[in-house]
Structure 1
Amino acid sequence: MGDAFGALLLEQWHGKDVSEVVERDDGHILVGSGSVAHRYFSEPDGWSPLDVAAVERCLGYVLDLGAGAGRASIELQDRGLPVLALDTSEKALHVCRCRGVRDTFLGSALDLARQMPDRRFDSILLLGNNFGLLESPKMAHRLLQAFTRMSTPSGRIIGRGLDPYSTEDPNHLRYHDYNRAAGRYGGQMRLRVRHRGEATPWFAYWFMSPDELAHALDGSGWRIDELQQDAASYMAVLAKCIGDRRGPKR
């Protein structure tokens, strides 16, 4: 076991062109298209429109959750916003600091909530399909409660997601069936990143449809305030409910 994710970012930072390799717990191997540079080091003019829209909606003090190599944190700093870049990879945060990210935190969102209970964020950003970090319905409930405590009264959550059901790949469809048979949503995954001789610990990641995201928010105190979709990908802005039953803007 090791920090394979951080190792591949660090190798890319030092000028070697590498790809990301992710293993699913059924043995399926997913290799990222193109190099890590395109996904984690790209400038805003190379981002998808949904990534651009997500960053544009950040206001005030921002928590960049799952910061990776810091592409969002750097852009937000350039816009004059204070940012805390959070990741569970020590080497990834080293890359962030090398690239100029000023404030970092090593650990999970729950670690941050425990260790810095007085921190309050105006925006919590989950770029790169990182709504998947909600992990499962049970963990989503815990995290959303923590986000409520960690955010200002007008705080918002801005994230990217991927609808796992927009596929005809038989490998993915079999995995969906396997999950449903075990009482999980089809897009609940156990993954690990591999790089050369290293692998991260297995971690949970939940690719959810927009409807599943809305269902996960039931009773959480958060609602979808804005939703933009592009095929299977989407960007959503979550706002605190405060007795408001309006549907999402599209």
Structure 2
Amino acid sequence: MADLFGKIMKDALAGEDAKYSIERDDGNVCDDLGRNYLVPFPEWSEGERQAIVHAKGRALDMGWGAGLVMRYLREQGYATVGVDISPGGVEACRSQGLVDTHVMSAEDLKFKPNTFNTVLLFGNNFGILGEEPRIIKMLKTLHRITTPDAIILASSRDPEATDDPAHLKYHEWNRERQRPVGLVRIRLKYKDAVEDWWELLLASPEDMNRLAQQAGWTLDTTFGPRNLYVGLLRKEGKK
């Protein structure tokens, strides 16, 4: 599979706008700029700005983009490890001095128990594995590799917090196929290249909590509006 995300990050760091498209399998297309992965803290989403202040101890940043969150946490004095499946993304981060970054899937996290105090899943990455059983398995792994008082700061969207006719039509199509309303099949397009299709789950706070509780976590609070929020997850029985 072409590493388009890595190419977008490299071009953005080189000063390009790096305009790319996300195509959904119903033909809906959304355009964005790679340079938006480099915005300073005041331009982060409301939920991310409010949530990040709760980070503590040693952090694991999963799917970090161009290293935006890692750089911020480093400036605040936190030790942060980054993992991403994009080799180009890892290279882009290391070029900025973010050396503790690794090519690693969210489905195969190779860390010892009790390694991290905070896990970050910004950029809609709560649902990065798509299917609910895979997300639950990821959350169980995160439970094992984090300390008893650890937290997860996970970003997602309530798919039904919209009045866009195209999105509402897609929800109905999902229901007809007996798929979760927020499960989307998408692919990246950049310059003349097209990536393979993959699935992303957009989860309401209620669905985030339902999945989390099947892996020993519970949703403590949320930050930001439902259409782009960050949930703070704690291990069950911890406050």
TM-score normalised by L of structure 2: 0.93
Q: Which piece of structure 1 moves more, 61-70 or 152-161?
A: 152-161
Once the two structures are TM-superposed, the CA of residue 134 in structure 1 deviates from its matched residue by 4.7
* Secondary structure in 2 matching 1:235: strand
RMSD: 1.8
Which contiguous aligned blocks of 4+ residues in structure 1 show a shift greater than 6 angstroms?
Answer: none
Letter in 1 for 2:34: V
Counterpart of 1:110 (choices 107, 111, 124) is 107
2: CA distance, partners of 1:218 / 1:74 = 31
Kindly indicate whether residue 192 of structure 2 is the aligned counterpart of residue 197 of structure 1.
yes
- The C-alpha deviation readout for 1:96-116, integer Å capped at 9, x for no partner, is 111221200102123223xx3
Partner of 1:82: 79
Say if 2:73 and 2:79, in contact at 8 Å, map to a contact too. yes
Letter in 1 for 2:96: R
- The C-alpha deviation readout for 1:115-168, integer Å capped at 9, x for no partner, is x34571111001112222252221121111111111111111111111111222
Say if 1:5 and 1:200, in contact at 8 Å, map to a contact too. no
1: CA distance, partners of 2:192 / 2:25 = 18
Partner of 1:129: 124
Letter in 2 for 1:68: G
Structure 2 residue ranges without an equivalent (≥5): none
1: CA distance, partners of 2:233 / 2:114 = 19
Once the two structures are TM-superposed, the CA of residue 221 in structure 1 deviates from its matched residue by 0.7
* Secondary structure in 1 matching 2:11: helix
* Secondary structure in 1 matching 2:108: helix
Partner of 2:57: 60
- The C-alpha deviation readout for 1:23-53, integer Å capped at 9, x for no partner, is 1122221112xx3212x11111222231112
What is the correspondence of 1:1-250 to structure 2 with a 5 Å cutoff?
1-32=1-32, 35-38=33-36, 40-113=37-110, 116-117=111-112, 120-242=115-237
Letter in 1 for 2:198: F
Letter in 2 for 1:240: K
2: CA distance, partners of 1:223 / 1:146 = 15
2: CA distance, partners of 1:20 / 1:112 = 29
Once the two structures are TM-superposed, the CA of residue 217 in structure 1 deviates from its matched residue by 2.2
* Secondary structure in 2 matching 1:217: helix
Say if 1:161 and 1:233, in contact at 8 Å, map to a contact too. yes
2: CA distance, partners of 1:183 / 1:217 = 22
Once the two structures are TM-superposed, the CA of residue 231 in structure 1 deviates from its matched residue by 4.9
Structure 1 residue ranges without an equivalent (≥5): none
2: CA distance, partners of 1:164 / 1:104 = 31
Once the two structures are TM-superposed, the CA of residue 82 in structure 1 deviates from its matched residue by 0.8
* Secondary structure in 2 matching 1:192: strand
Letter in 2 for 1:16: E
Letter in 2 for 1:36: G
Count of paired positions: 239
Instruction: State the percentage of identical aligned residues.
Output: 31
Say if 2:61 and 2:70, in contact at 8 Å, map to a contact too. yes
2: CA distance, partners of 1:155 / 1:200 = 35
Once the two structures are TM-superposed, the CA of residue 201 in structure 1 deviates from its matched residue by 2.6
Once the two structures are TM-superposed, the CA of residue 232 in structure 1 deviates from its matched residue by 1.6
Q: Which piece of structure 1 moves more, 180-189 or 132-141?
A: 132-141
User: Structure 1 51/187 Cα, relative in aligned 2: closer, same or farther at 3 Å?
Assistant: same
Say if 2:114 and 2:144, in contact at 8 Å, map to a contact too. no
